[in-house]
Amino acid sequence: MKRIRDLFNHHERTYSFELFPPKTDKGFENLLKTIALLCELKPDYISCTYGAGGGNREKTFDVVQHIEARHHVIGMAHLTCVLNTKNDIAAIVEDIKSRGIRNILALRGDPPKDQPDWQPTEDNFKYSSELVAFTREKFGDYFGIAVAGFPEGHVLCPDRDKDAEFLKLKIDAGADFVITQLFFDNKDYFAYIERLRTIGVKVRVIPGILPITDYRALQRFCAVCGATVTDEVKKIFEPLQDDQGATLQAGTEFAIRQCQELLGGGAPGIHFYCLNKVHPTAEILEAVR
């Protein structure tokens, strides 16, 4: 399979989905059905997340391998370096390569809930930029490498200029492109692009979009990842929070508007956090592509 960066030579925009590996066998079976439906939408690639510390990593790689082998759609494995030693990571990246996977989203990750005070030593990578540099050094150009970007600044680095400089370190280390954390105010994305271009980051920065389907879950998730639940989102979704159908409808309309404005403003595609569901991402994609 190709590296995602090779698509950029002839695709002005890419549309992609993000999945997570289910915990149970039943969940895994269901995900395979969802993947078949998602692949009918002809995404440019599909990525699969990686559990904190990598406890469930076989599942991540199995999902990516399945997408590529069964559906001939490019897959991307997320990989975090937290908890693992550099030697562990070398073996894990070898495993990814031996499965024929050519795309990695290189992340630091966060210490898991049962080890909140974990600190890296010199045997670990401290930041994702070190993981990127290591992978490039050891595996050359074999992998396409994406990294995470934070239009509102990372939750531990609210200074947006500083956070942009840290993003630049990942690109200078060899990353090909960026997928952003979810956000609901497009001004944050466009200002981020401006900041990055000013400091010489030229790669694609693909907005990560979460269709809103459950307002309470959204609030919990944003509290953890640091994305702002904007006044506009509160105004639309708070009154609907006990009405699942109305939330879904409003969430679809909101995401379509958000994506259309992003694409109109020059965003090089959309990465959908589809939460292992086909709907409403299918409708949103159809409306914006």
Ligand X SMILES: Cc1cc2nc3c(=O)[nH]c(=O)nc-3n(C[C@H](O)[C@H](O)[C@H](O)COP(=O)(O)OP(=O)(O)OC[C@H]3O[C@@H](n4cnc5c(N)ncnc54)[C@H](O)[C@@H]3O)c2cc1C
Contact 105, 147 (CB under 8 A): yes
Subset of residues 65 to 104 that bind ligand X, contact rule: CB under 6 A: 78, 80
Task: Please tell me whether residue 156 binds ligand X under the rule CB under 6 A.
Answer: yes
Pick one of 65, 84, 129, 281: the residue that binds ligand X (CB under 6 A): 129
Task: Please tell me whether residue 127 binds ligand X under the rule CB under 6 A.
Answer: yes
Return the range that interacts with ligand X (CB under 6 A); candidates 4-12, 65-73, 115-123, 154-162. 154-162
Q: Identify which of residues 80 and 247 has a Cβ nearer to ligand X in the complex.
A: 80
Return the range that interacts with ligand X (CB under 6 A); candidates 47-55, 95-103, 214-222, 240-248. 47-55
Task: Please tell me whether residue 154 binds ligand X under the rule CB under 6 A.
Answer: yes
Task: Please tell me whether residue 107 binds ligand X under the rule CB under 6 A.
Answer: yes
Residue 58 appears among annotated catalytic residues? no
- The phi and psi torsions of 63 (rounded to 5 degrees) equal -60, -45
123: CB partners within 8 A, 6+ apart: 85, 86, 87
Question: Between 216 and 255, how does the x/- string for binding to ligand X read (CB under 6 A)?
Answer: ----------------------------------------
Contact 255, 287 (CB under 8 A): no
Q: Identify which of residues 161 and 232 has a Cβ nearer to ligand X in the complex.
A: 161
| Least distance CB 240 / ligand X (angstroms) | 27
Return the range that interacts with ligand X (CB under 6 A); candidates 6-14, 135-143, 153-161, 245-253. 153-161
Pick one of 1, 35, 104, 179: the residue that binds ligand X (CB under 6 A): 179
Subset of residues 184 to 223 that bind ligand X, contact rule: CB under 6 A: 208
DSSP the chain: ---HHHHTTT-S-EEEEEE---SSHHHHHHHHHHHHHHHHT--SEEEE---GGGTTHHHHHHHHHHHHHHH--EEEEEEE-TT--HHHHHHHHHHHHHTT--EEEEE-----TT-TT----TTS-SSHHHHHHHHHHHHTTSSEEEEEE-TT-BTTB--HHHHHHHHHHHHHTT--EEEEPP-S-HHHHHHHHHHHHHTT--SEEEPEE---S-HHHHHHHHHHH-----HHHHHHHGGGTT-HHHHHHHHHHHHHHHHHHHHHTT--EEEEE-TT--TTHHHHHHHH-
| Least distance CB 149 / ligand X (angstroms) | 7
Task: Give CA–CA dist 205/268, Å, rounded.
Answer: 7
Q: Which of 12, 18, 94, 286 is catalytic?
A: 18
Task: Please tell me whether residue 166 binds ligand X under the rule CB under 6 A.
Answer: yes
What tokens were used for 126?
């401290």
Task: Please tell me whether residue 59 binds ligand X under the rule CB under 6 A.
Answer: no
Task: Please tell me whether residue 163 binds ligand X under the rule CB under 6 A.
Answer: yes
| Least distance CB 166 / ligand X (angstroms) | 4
> Interface residues with ligand X (CB under 6 A)?
49-50, 52, 78, 80, 105, 107-110, 127-129, 148, 154, 156-157, 163, 166, 169, 179, 181, 208
Could you list the active site residues? 18
